[in-house]
Structure 1
Amino acid sequence: MKFTIHRDHFVQSVQHVSKAISLRTTIPVLTGIKILATSEGVTLTGSDSDISIEAFIPKDEDDQQLVEIVEEGSIVLQARFFADIVKKLPEETIEVIVTDNLTTTLKSGSSEFNLNGLDPEEYPRLPDIEEENIFKLPTDLLKNIIRQTVFAVSTVETRPILTGVNWMIEDSTLTCTATDSHRLAMRHAKVETNSGELSFSNVVIPGKSLNELNKILDDTNQWIEIIVTDNQILFKGKNILFFSRLLDGNYPATKNMIPNHSKTSVTLDTKKLTQAIERALLLSRDGKNNVVNLKTMADGNIEITSVTPEVGKVTEDIDCINYSGEELRISFNGKNIIDALKVIDSTEVQIDFTGAMSPFVMKPLEHEYMLHLFSPVRTY
């Protein structure tokens, strides 16, 4: 195999596929990146047991030659060294030469590296996915959906299904739900389907996969195709394929958790609420529970307090834009509220309480495609 390639495109693709590689794998060939050179261009692949990423660099793009193929072929190179080497090579082009004994030479300007390659025939094939359940949405919308849900997945492996985000489609509407059993984030989005009858309800994508996908997607309005099977999901973007396994098991029926009434409702300025809770947490950040107390006041405002006996107490009043219903005292995990406020994308939020010991709902006022649910904290 022999080809010359544009360095910047090579580096970016290597970085993308490296995100799928785990150095803890027991299969030696999976610690490497597979490089395949054909008459069309160069394909790079990285994989572990959960994620596989394939990046393609075409011969030509936008009237610019990116790759010159002299001899087709393939090789697997150790990701740990190879990724660092291509990033630091000096010139705009890199020459890659593989000999019969898998020795690989990387040349750029006056630099030359010789690496021992691995047999590409031992590299596992990527999943062969039947393209039946297909839908698509703009890449920037997908990035927003991930950002607005994945933070709420569980980081504890005791209930593995909760470490993922549940996706379901009904009536061309995608609903994404994440919960760690203390909080819940839900996001709706309209999607385009290959048939109006597409529907599924228990597709649970690992939070780790979605975080890695989010890192490699460009913030553009280009469409990305998404293909779902029984145990895999594939995201097809421009010159990139991202495969992820799905989590086994049934996701909890979260629709039933969301109250449809309220006893107390307040509308608040998002920024003021965020800053008040951040200040309240200054005294409790060494504790694990991040407890903040909220109390409605006779003048229609709310009072935020936080008490750490060995440190002190903070009290702050916040003006309500709107207030209705019964008086209320409630305690909650302030960090969970801040996580949600950071992704809610609205200058005002409405919080609906159904009682001091019942879950409460927070939603943006400027749009209706998102809501957050929180469990209160017992403080006695």
Structure 2
Amino acid sequence: MKFTINKKHLSYLTSLVHRAASNKNTVAALSGLLIEISSNHGLTMTATDMEIGIKASTKEINIIEEGSVLVNAYYFADFIKLLPDTTISIEFNNNSSKLNISYGRSSGVINTYSIQEYPELPLKEMEYKFTLPQNVLKEALKKTVFAATNNHFRQVFTGVLFDIIENNQINIVASDTHRLAFYNYTLENINLEPFNFIIPIRSVNELLRLLDDTDDDIKIGFSENNVIFYNDNFIILSRLIEGKYPNYDQVIPKNFNTKVLLKTDILSNSLERAKTMPTDDKLKIQHAQFTFKEDEISINSFSETIGEIVEIIEEFNLEGDNDIKIAFNTNYLLDVVKLLDNETKEISISLSGSLGPSLIKNPDKNNYLYILVPLRTTG
């Protein structure tokens, strides 16, 4: 195997793929990056730890000899990233089983793994299901994945739910039981029977790295216990999380006592300042106490050891009951406020009492909402 390639193209492709490799030392081959050179596909890289797999290709290379090799993914990626911006020459030495990398008058040699031990991604039995525009999938995942949790005794909460329901509606949902993010989209030109699947947070984050902001299609298929997202440029395969997701529709309140409309940036800045107050031993969750009155909204953040911050917001519109006190996890509320700050000047908060779940959304869009359960405090 021998080829030359511009460092920019090599580094970009490596950065897309290598993170799917295992960073543990249990099975050497799973920490590998499979590099394949062929006249049909150019340079193809594959990495997998059996939980997630990524495969991507580029034809921006000069092929001298076809072939394949398996190298340590993380070392190769780190080394390539630091090379100068020049043409890189890569050659596999069959006699020494080492990969030679030349750049200008300098060079490096990397040991290789046995390619026979590398597992093949289960792509041959893949069954296509439906298609989403890249920008829609990217927006949906960005607006939901942060609401899932990394650790929970119910594994379904460590992933994002894709729920295809009647009338070609897809709901993309994530929750840690204290908050829930919900995104809806109408699938086009297809008639699917209702079904759902859950993919882990890690797979979502890797998929977000690969997606761009165009409306080009991403196809979605299934093979064994894996979901596969793919187009002409890449394939990402993820194991599915087993288990039944709870009825999220029951969590979304239908009736509210109070509705508030206020400036997104004002609320964001107030919460950022409130966040500077540390947590205390009594309630180890950073929180802000909101008081909604007819003429003002106050946001109180208190610490026995440091002090107190009181933010007053006077520019808002309130409908329904006032003189309501409610406490929110500061970081949980700030997550969605900063997210919506990128798309809307105003944010809508609907309250169902001091202890009932609140609904937060962009008032001009109905396809996304965020449910936040308030905290019980003694203050």
> Which whole-Å CA distance do the structure 2 matches of 1:91 and 1:291 have between them?
48
Aligned pairs for 1:39-54 (under 5 A) are 39-40=39-40, 41-54=42-55
Q: Distance in 1 between matches of 2:183 and 2:44?
A: 34
Match of 1:61 in 2: none
Q: Which moved more, 1:5-14 or 1:224-233?
A: 224-233
- Secondary structure of the corresponding residue to residue 77 of structure 1: strand
Question: Mapping of 1:104-119 within 5 angstroms?
Answer: 104-119=99-114
Matched, 1:367 2:365: yes
Please, which moves more after superposition, 333-342 or 123-132?
123-132
Q: How does 1:213-228 map to 2 (within 5 A)?
A: 213-228=207-222
Displacement of 1:322: 2.2
Per-residue deviation, 1:179: 0.6
The aligned runs of 1:21-100 (5 Å cut-off) are 21-40=21-40, 41-58=42-59, 66-90=60-84, 92-100=86-94
Q: How many Å apart are 1:55 and its aligned residue?
A: 1.1
Residue 341 of structure 1 and its aligned partner are, at CA, apart by: 0.9
Moved more, 232-241 or 86-95: 86-95
- Evaluate the alpha carbon distance shift between residue 27 and residue 374 of structure 1 in structure 2; reply closer, same or farther with a 3 A threshold: same
Q: Distance in 1 between matches of 2:18 and 2:355?
A: 46
Asked if residue 340 in structure 1 is aligned to residue 336 in structure 2, the reply is yes
- Aligned to 1:19, what secondary structure does the other structure show? helix
Counterpart of 1:277?
A: 271
Aligned match of 2:237: 243
Between the aligned partners of 2:84 and 2:264, the Cα distance in structure 1 is 48
Q: Is the 8 A contact 1:347 1:366 kept in 2?
A: no
Contact 1:91 1:108 in 2 (8 A): no
| Matched residues, number | 370
Structure 2: 5+ residue runs without aligned partners?
A: none
Cα distance in 2 between the residues matched to 1:311 and 1:378: 22
State which of 264, 275, 286 in structure 2 corresponds to 1:290: 286
Root-mean-square deviation (CA, aligned residues, Å) is: 2.0
Between 16-25 and 86-95, the greater mean CA deviation after superposition: 86-95
What is the alpha-carbon distance in structure 1 between the residues aligned to residue 320 and residue 45 of structure 2?
Answer: 59
Paired residue for 2:253, among 259, 282, 290? 259
How far, CA to CA, are the matches of 1:223 and 1:163 in structure 2?
27
Deviations 1:11-43 (A, max 9, x none): 111111111122214110111111111122111
Shift in Å, 1:184: 0.7
Where does residue 150 of structure 2 map in the other structure?
A: 155
**Residues 1:70 and 1:262: Cα distance change in structure 2 (over 3 Å):** same
TM-score by length of 2: 0.91
Asked if 1 retains the 8 angstrom alpha-carbon contact of 2:302 and 2:309, the reply is: yes
Aligned: 1:377 with 2:343: no
Q: Distance in 2 between matches of 1:156 and 1:91?
A: 41
User: Which deviates more, 28-37 or 217-226?
Assistant: 217-226
Q: Distance in 2 between matches of 1:149 and 1:163?
A: 12
Contact 2:280 2:304 in 1 (8 A): no
Q: Quick one: distance in 2 between partners of 1:317 and 1:116? A: 62
The alpha carbon displacement at 1:5 in A equals 2.4
Are 1:265 and 1:352, in contact at CA under 8 Å, matched by a contact in 2? yes
Amino acid at match of 1:319: E
Q: Deviations over 1:316-346 (max 9, x none)?
A: 2223532122231111111101001111232
**Within 2, Cα distance between the matches of 1:348 and 1:335?**
19
**Aligned pair in 2 of structure 1 residues 198, 94: CA closer, same or farther (>3 Å)?**
farther
State the identity %: 34
The one-character-per-residue Cα deviations of 1:156-191 (angstroms, maximum 9, x if unpaired) are 242221110111123233211111111111111233
| Structure 1 moving runs of 4+ over 6 Å | none
**Structure 1 pair 108–310 and aligned structure 2 pair: CA distance change class (3 A):** closer
* Structure-1-length-normalised TM-score: 0.91
Partner AA of 2:66 in structure 1: E
| Aligned match for 2:325, one of 324, 329, 354 | 329
Consecutive unaligned residues of structure 1, counting only runs of 5 or more, are 59-65
Residue 175 in 1 paired to residue 175 in 2? no
Higher mean Cα deviation, 242-251 or 16-25?
Answer: 16-25
Task: Tell me the SS of whatever aligns to 1:143.
Answer: helix
Relative to structure 1, is the Cα distance of residues 175 and 13 closer, same or farther in structure 2, using a 3 angstrom cutoff? same
